[in-house]
Amino acid sequence: MTIVKTVKNTVFYFVKIFRDIPLTTVSLSQRAIQIKESQIREASRYCEKFGAINLAQGLPDFPAPEALKEAARAAIAADLNQYADSWGWEKLRVAIAEKMLRDNQITVDPETEITVCCGATEGLNVALMTLINQGDRVLIFEPFYENYIPNLATVGGIPEIITLTPPQWEITQEMIEPAFKKGIKAVIINSPANPTGKVWTRTELELIAKLCLQYDVYAITDEIYEYIIYEQEHISLMSIEGMRDRTILVNGFSKTFCITGWRLGYTIASPELSAAIRRIHDFITISAPAPLQYAALTAMQFGREYFTNMALDYKRKRDMLYPALLEMGFSPVLPQGAYYIWTDSSAIAQDADMAAFRLAKEALVAVVPGTCFSHPDRAKVNGLRFCFAKKDSTIELAVKNLRNLKL
């Protein structure tokens, strides 16, 4: 009995010691050290701490379409619960090919060019793993979606950053050609963009295409907000002459169908690129969730009015928040797409982190500091991102709280 007790105490002792060892003694990879925790999660933590309204994280607080939830329940009940075809369920790939022709004017072979994966997030990672070697440079435009830096760190890619200026965020040949000349393997184009709401124009995409051809550069496009678009039209870089076989297009179901938790996305690329994408995807996740792929087919069959109404709904929400921010003394930029408003934050604090903290604490509204969308080693950006993918009542309450803040 005493032996058993001694062994038990010794085990507890060692478990306690190992639990208390500081993390710094663990031999982490350079990659793991380079990847910092998402500041968006941190903003959500403030949100909980102060009981603030969450305009930080890019997800809706309203329900997903009933027809989709029903289709998912039915697929699970029908026991479609095992691994799916690694490339994606065939009928879903066919539906994606039909959508690509109808909405993007791109003819795609569902058999060889589409890979369904676990969200655009997996699509972007797999696209980078397909193209990028250790030390390859990849051009990104700042402010950029925060994942791009950690995604590049995972493959050893080096970000080549060009900073865009509000309110137009436009590019010119003068600004971007030096990066191509210096030698980049790929460029990431996010349109409509998070966090700026920039929608890339045909002229800008033609310039990117011209330089990609001239300097033998690939493009990865992140088109996750394709249907959340206001005054401008969405154009896929892949549809521009010369770009069909040097682009990996990444898209997904999260934002369009209000199902960010389903983790469904896809890549579109030439058969050669797709063959590599599929091999990598297979060993990373095997397949996207099978029953949800069946349910996603229902989403692909929604009529035109679903997309029109969704864009109009988001436009209405944008137009509730934007004038209120203007009136309060911020300098917001009217987004042309996606569901975020970017604004300068110097009116309320010396830097973005302090501004976000102040809004969460004093106005009870959590937003994301602009530092999150720039390289950690670069000068701090004094901007904030407000997400308006929220119920009208949430936006109304947030505006009321913001108005009470003494600037």
Ligand X SMILES: Cc1ncc(COP(=O)(O)O)c(C=O)c1O
Chain residues binding ligand X by CB under 6 A are: 58, 119-121, 145, 190, 194, 222, 224, 252, 254, 260, 265
Q: Residue 255: how many CB atoms within 10 A of its CB? A: 25
Give least dist CB 392 to ligand X, A: 21
Pick the closest to residue 367 from 336, 390, 350 (CA basis). Answer: 390
Give least dist CB 224 to ligand X, A: 4
Closer residue to ligand X in complex, CB, 190/293: 190
* Cα of 384 vs its chain's centroid, Å: 17
What are residue 159's DSSP bridge partners? 138
Backbone φ and ψ for 336, nearest 5 degrees, come out as -90, -15
CB 335, CB 228: distance < 8 Å: no
Closer residue to ligand X in complex, CB, 58/88: 58
Give least dist CB 35 to ligand X, A: 16
Residues recorded for the chain: 407
Give least dist CB 104 to ligand X, A: 17
Give least dist CB 393 to ligand X, A: 23
The bridge status of strand 158-163 relative to strand 137-142 is parallel
Cβ-proximal residues to 13 (8 Å cutoff; 6+ apart), any chain: none
Give least dist CB 259 to ligand X, A: 9
Closer residue to ligand X in complex, CB, 318/348: 318
Backbone φ and ψ for 46, nearest 5 degrees, come out as -55, -40
Q: Which residue is nearest to ligand X (CB)?
A: 119
Closer residue to ligand X in complex, CB, 61/362: 61
Written as six digits, the tokens of 286 are: 């095997």
Closer residue to ligand X in complex, CB, 236/254: 254
Closer residue to ligand X in complex, CB, 145/294: 145
Closer residue to ligand X in complex, CB, 104/190: 190
Give least dist CB 254 to ligand X, A: 3
Helical (H) or strand (E) element with 140: strand 137-142
C-alpha 81/C-alpha 74 separation (Å) is 11
C-alpha 356/C-alpha 352 separation (Å) is 6
Give least dist CB 148 to ligand X, A: 9
Helical spans, DSSP H, in 21-147 = 30-34, 39-50, 66-77, 90-104, 119-131
User: Which amino acid is residue 330, in one-letter code?
Assistant: F
Give least dist CB 362 to ligand X, A: 27
Closer residue to ligand X in complex, CB, 104/125: 125
Pick the closest to residue 157 from 129, 193, 126, 182 (CA basis). Answer: 129
C-alpha 19/C-alpha 24 separation (Å) is 13
Closer residue to ligand X in complex, CB, 58/332: 58
Cβ density class 278-289: b for 16+ within 10 Å, e for less:
bebbeeebebbb
